Amino acid sequence: MRSSLEVYDMARGESRVVWQTADLIEAPNWHPEGWLLVNRAGRLCRVPLDGGPVVEIDTGFADACNNDHGFSVDGSFIYLSHHVAGLATLYRLPVAGGVPEQVVPDVPSYWHGVAADGEIAYCARRGGRYEICVMQDKEVQLTGVTGEEGHNDGPDYSADGAWIWFNSDRSGQAQIWRMRRDGSDVQRMVTSDTVDWFPHPSPDGAHVLYLSYPQGTLYHPRDLDVALRILPQDGGESREVLRLFGGQGTVNVPCWAPDGSAFAYVRYAATD
């Protein structure tokens, strides 16, 4: 067993296994109708929560999908990042499958979140560094306006739509930050000795889930002892929810149940 797709129940404080496979799978999203989306071997898969058969989604020519994918607010579309000549290119397609339509002209672009009004947030290499960008009619770069250096990644919208949460190493190592949707009022929300990535606000407005690596970790590798932590969406002290063997692929993208009662994640078994 290489990958274990699991769901953590917030009220019970315990996990259950949804699917275990010898394949490498990554980055679960939770569809509004109650199934999970993951990527496997360059394709996307639909995974029932009740243990039914896993079905590969028809993504047309997009056969090099990475772990930056998710749903439109109403669940009718899938956003995905497919590699073209080695560069992540952002597309969308109907949730049942079909021909991908490119939605961001510039590359590389890695999808990460969507707001209720349809605005998408993504990480993109622009001007030689990784920035947080948003798009409705045209691309707007947000983190570049602060004048800060560093790697900025993992944007996701707060439940009320007022904030974009993200991780940035502008303080020296990756930590959790938030900013207004126009890039203003940048606030550091976590100060820790760990290296923290991929914040995901819960849909009920209560929590922010994020991935925490050991001090000194560079970027967000796979196959390390890591922790999943949560903090209040209004700010405050964080607490550890789970400790597991994981990292890249565990919670890269929005993974909460629509009501905020649970979240999905992937843990991994060590490889030889």
Per-residue pLDDT of 40-75, as tens digits, reads 999 999 999 998 999 999 999 999 999 999 999 999
- DSSP 3-state of 267: strand
pLDDT number for residue 146:
45
- Tell me what the mean pLDDT of segment 239-264 comes to: 98
Which H helix or E strand runs over 227? strand 224-232
**How many helices (H) does the chain have, and how many strands (E)?**
0, 23
Question: Quick check: 243 and 225 in contact, CB under 8 A?
Answer: yes
At residue 143 the predicted structure's pLDDT band, cuts being 50, 70 and 90, is: confident
Cis omega (within 30 of 0) on the bond before 108? yes
pLDDT (tens digit per residue) in 118-130: 999 999 998 888 9
- At 171 the pLDDT is 87
**Bridge partner list, 233:** none
- pTM of the shown model: 0.96
**What structural domains and CATH numbers belong to the chain?**
3-268 (2.120.10.30)
Task: Tell me the average pLDDT across 150-163.
Answer: 94
pLDDT in tens, 8-18: 999 999 999 99
* pLDDT tens digits for range 102-119: 999 999 999 999 999 999
CA nearest to 211, candidates 177, 252, 178, 179? 252
Residue 246 has pLDDT above 70, yes or no: yes
